[in-house]
Amino acid sequence: MQATQSTELTEFQTQPDEYRHWQFSVDGSTATLTLNVQEEDDGPDYLLKQNSYDLSVDVELSDAIQRLRFEHPEVKTLIFGSAIARVFCAGANIYMLGKSTHPFKVNFCKYTNETRLGIEDLSENTGVRTIAALNGTAAGGGYELALACDEIYLVDDGASTVSFPEVPLLAVLPGTGGLTRLVDKRKVRRDRADIFCTVAEGLKGKRAKQWGLVDDFFPLSKWNDKIDARAKAAIDASTRKADWAGTKLPKLTPTIEEDSMTFEYVDVKFDHAERTATLTMRGPGADAPKAADAMIAAGADFWAIKAFRELDLALLHLRMDYPGINVVVLRTTGSIADVLSLDEALYANRENGFVKEVLSNMARVLRRTDLTAKSFYALIEPGSCFAGSMFELALCADRSYMLIDDDGENKIALSALNGGIFPMTHEKSRLENRFFGEPDCIAGLMESAGTQIDAEDAEEQGLVTMSLDDLDFEDEVRLALEERASFSPDALTGMEASLRFPGAENCDSKIFGRLSAWQNWIFQRPNAVGPKGALTSYGQPTRPEFDFKRT
């Protein structure tokens, strides 16, 4: 068993004055993100040619999108462009993928897709219209970035195309939702999509528009004027409220040690020998602001922002930097009354622009929890504050164990925020998800929102997996954790991804379900990554050799 863990962690934090690959500017209601990838980054032994990207490029993109939400409420449209003539983006860097470990590939694709989903959420929940101004060729992940936008325009310069060359060139697939967005989002006909995905050189403007791959194409001589006109129309169509001045987001400063990661509101303690981590989240205090103006004044220190930013960063490190941790125990500490009080205030002010962004961010972090390939077990004990927004963590968990204490003080509670403010990836609330087979009971549960529920009633109402007295609780939990940590992590990842999302799927959930299956399977197949596979051979004088047996 792994007994120690290096504290050298992936850098997921940045800020605009540190960007190396994106040029970020704001001019009134319009923001522009211009991709200008620097070929030689610090460290990697590959060149990021043709605006290809690696994790560092996407970290900057994710940061910029988050800052648009909180720091620039005046922005109503976002334009993506490129600083390199005739190249928008060549997609994920092939040499990076070829040299990466399999777990890194999968987590890289997952993070990249969550960033693309963040762009779509920026439009849907913030009201910022997004425009992909493809002033050059967009290939693979570059076109997938465009697909995340509301509108796509391609320059008509006689050379620029959009393409998905993964199948013919690399023996893999557009791994961050490309195929699903093509047919589900843009409604491209399946036979046309079939041709598009097998023609490595892609399609130019006229055919790309006919097939629905882009919204329009413009000659180079009219390019700037046409994009400006589309930006003005997007501003006019935006629903964003600019009823607050913006909140700066400073970097978080956790204390990282070999066996722990400590923030202000979130702690993670690692037991590497047992392949288990304990993540404890502290609830808000009684002095948490309740009026919208006071919440805005608190800024990035407001509990509902800072605690969930900390949780988000902890989840990212757990995914990328702690592959040997298979089980995460979720705990909370604090006052149920204080959580319910703040939840009531957030719900009452949910139409305020700032509060709307706070709630939207909480929802995205909770979705990141759902999509994390770790087993989550919630332990509800005296001193916990699994209530309302904090109870969503227990609803994220694969199992929840609640102690029946002698004093009857160990409680949980629901709030109005459990009624759909934090939708899952497939758009259901976690209560709807939990009671998929008993939808009629949800209205009754929500009618009792604000009422504190003891352990036995919580189990009877189906809100926890199991309630146990103090004679059985410790042993039952210990055995459950030991058993879980002994199972194949690959089997658990597949099992959890299937069980966490019952019912009908949507575009987002299909992307992640297929991402897990495709990347975990195809990225391990010899045709892609074997000694003579397409990814291994890319850029080399040798051609790939395939095993043509269908599996």
Q: Which residues, other chains included, contact 47 with Cβ-Cβ below 8 Å and sequence gap of 6+?
A: 39, 40, 95
- Top CATH class, 16-237: alpha beta
Q: Find the Cα–Cα–Cα–Cα dihedral 328, 412, 286, 281, rounded to 10°.
A: 0
Q: At the topology level of CATH, where does 255-496 sit?
A: 2-enoyl-CoA Hydratase; Chain A, domain 1 (3.90.226)
Strands, E, within 381-529: which ranges? 399-404, 411-412, 453-454, 466-469
Local mean pLDDT, 10-residue blocks, the chain (551 residues): 59 97 97 93 76 96 98 98 96 88 88 94 96 97 97 97 93 84 96 96 97 98 97 96 92 95 98 97 98 97 98 97 96 98 98 96 97 96 98 98 93 98 95 95 95 97 97 96 94 89 88 68 81 85 85 66
Domain ranges of the chain: 16-237, 255-496
Check residue 420 and report its DSSP letter.
Answer: T
pLDDT at 2: 37
Q: Model pTM greater than 0.75?
A: yes
pLDDT at 6: 52
pLDDT at 102: 84
Q: How far apart are CA 267 and CA 9, in angstroms?
A: 16
pLDDT at 43: 58
Q: How far apart are CA 456 and CA 410, in angstroms?
A: 10
